[in-house]
Amino acid sequence: MKKVSLILAVGCSLTLQAQMADNSKKQEKIKYPETRKGTVTDNYFGTTVADPYRWLEDDRSEETAAWVKAQNKVTFGYLDKIPFRDEIKNRMQELWNYEKISAPFKEGNYTYYYKNNGLQNQSVLYRKDKNGKEEVFIDPNTFSKDGTTSLGGVSFSKDGSLVAYSISEGGSDWRKVFVMDAATKKLTGETLTDVKFSGISWKGNEGFYYSSYDKPEGSELSAKTDHHKLYFHKLGTPQKEDKIIFGDSEATKYRYVGGYVTEDQRYLVVSAANSTSGNKLFIADLTKPGAKLVTITDDFDSDSSVIDTQGNTLLIFTNYKAPNNRIVTVDVAAPQQQNWKDLIPETENVLSASTGAGYIFAEYMQDAVSVVKQYDLKGKPVRDIKLPGVGTAGGFGGKKEDKVLYYSFTNYISPGTIYSYDPKTGKSDMYQKPKVDFNTDNYVSKQVFYTSKDGTKVPMIITHRKDLVLDGTNPTILYGYGGFNVSLTPSFSIANAVWMENGGVYAVPNLRGGGEYGKKWHDAGTKTQKQNVFDDFIAAAEYLIQNKYTSADYLAISGGSNGGLLVGATMTQRPDLMKVALPAVGVLDMLRYHTFTAGAGWAYDYGTAEDSKEMFDYLKGYSPVHNVKKGTAYPATMVLTGDHDDRVVPAHSFKFAAMLQENQAGDNPVLIRIGVNAGHGAGKSVAQTIAEYSDAQAFTLYNMGLKPKKK
């Protein structure tokens, strides 16, 4: 599960007068669509649980389609009446409209890079030849009229002569894969279909490895998928003849399987997992015909991957006996864990690693900000890399023969800038700085540590204008995730920049369940410790209120996916704490999440209602769908989802919205905005993104009693 950041934006100056009373008078009583209640119940360990909106799980039924249409009619009717909605959207488009260029990468005789002229729905893949002549290589904007078909993974053969790329239609995780001759840009061979959760890794020019599931019976959107297989596609042959490399038996049945060829083209590495944490690892020598896969790790107690090879020596990145990660070496002839030797040992800070130009780059998170060190392939320190400031650095990876590498640097007030890096001298030069009309000098971004319910110290970065007055009236977005070992590190957003430019506060706590302090921090927010995550988020809100950054009347909580669960659980446990709640593509039915698509793979973090009575009771105790109480005044809520989300199926959001509408007390609106031809987040068009941010922002300001101030 990948995180989906709903960072809100405002396109004009805000007046912070208390106008909530006026707004509530102007708002008409909303007439919600009628949602039929069914009689479905489930029995868990002797406890009967009603599920009156089970019918909304059927995404193929006419009744569900009619409900979606009716809900969107109410939601967009409400948004249409907000007088400054268009003003916000226009300002958003104005600031979004700047050229964006990625770091370049070399493949064969060309240098490739992505570019967006500002408001293109999808970024275009360009290339230059040795003479500097530029041309469009792949333009995803031509894939569909509305820009909702996106370019996914792009993988070149080692010599750069062939490329395989995937596309996603309407945001779906199910992909199609095309093969193209790089020189002529002509498609070759047939299109592969029904590819899901997959990389693409070439073996010479012969073909490539990819992963997928058998097409499920029933709904492609929501039916369970739990048997992943690794295939090899040989060029010039039909997909139906693709050979299964791993996963063709009950003994090799796993939910997540991936395979990749090492840079030297000598080895195939296969990873197999049943959850989002912990994997088995295998390797085969491709230079030996018929070579069998050899086991490197044979349990799910740790995460490991091969990041480089030197002849017979493997470099493995792992958290085995190292919760903060380390890099080890081992001879491929005996690659098991007992033979591993430290190359870069574990430290007190969490390590991530990349290789390029014959070096290892160790990026450490020190209280959620980057510190980068360079090592040679024998583990000898070369230098500490001086970064442009305090924030997040990423990149440094490349091929062994590369002479120049690239990295990006960003934080909450510094637009993402790309730097070229000479690994021999350690010299960095600015390569690409976006032309954003934002004066960093007017803002401050500082880290604080607050105390959670159980005494745990939790870091939070708070960003705002330097002239902010701490009087409790500042509109504030509290954004969180708290799960799946995902780390929230500082990054710039145009949407956030506009929010802060106009007096808003943006706060991001590094909750337990994330990866900011390694596996122990992650585990402290899983299963029967999941409440720690919600307590950390609640304590962050209380810190902001106690220190007069904001108050309950001016606080919005936001999060997507697992962060949508965070928002749903927080607003049902502490509805008094915030004025606005924006749960996006959230996991909201904790008793049934594992029955949809690949949801069972999230059990490491959540546990399932079928595990034990204790686990069932715990999940039911915080599941947002099951904890909406009649007669409670919940904050103004806009649930956000996409009709093509096959990661966290929209039924979660449908059922939560229906429960809130049925039980809401008071005048705060409860709406659901269902994006059309939109998925979990990846590949969403710029037009869709701007529209969603603008609508969420207009809803938030309107319900906080704020309005744009004419300049």
Active site residues: 561, 680
Provide the token pair at 550.
């904001």
Phi, psi dihedrals of residue 443, rounded to the nearest 5°: -130, 160
Bridge partners of 451? 457
Phi, psi dihedrals of residue 475, rounded to the nearest 5°: -65, 130
**Exposure class string for 124-148: b at 16+ Cβ within 10 A, else e:** bbbbeeeeeeeeebbebbebbeebb
Q: Considering just the CA atoms, what is the radius of gyration of the chain in Å?
A: 25
The span from the CA of 9 to the CA of 500, in Å, is 9
The span from the CA of 546 to the CA of 533, in Å, is 20
Bridge partners of 187? 180
Position of tokens 């401050």? 444
The angle formed by the CA atoms of residues 243, 244 and 245, to the nearest 5 degrees, is 105
Q: How far is CA 698 from the centre of its chain?
A: 24
Phi, psi dihedrals of residue 361, rounded to the nearest 5°: -115, 115
**What contacts 243, CB < 8 A, 6 or more positions away?**
231, 232, 234
| Cα dihedral value 269, 275, 278, 280, nearest 10 | -40
**Exposure class string for 219-244: b at 16+ Cβ within 10 A, else e:** bbbbbbbbbbbbbbbebeeebeebee
Provide the token pair at 339.
């033979």
* Size of the chain, expressed as the number of residues it contains: 711
Q: How far is CA 490 from CA 410, 446, 456, 484, 507, in A?
A: 7, 11, 22, 18, 11
Nearest Cα residue to 554 out of 658, 670, 635, 475: 475
Q: How far is CA 534 from CA 483, 517, 638, in A?
A: 11, 18, 20
The span from the CA of 462 to the CA of 446, in Å, is 6
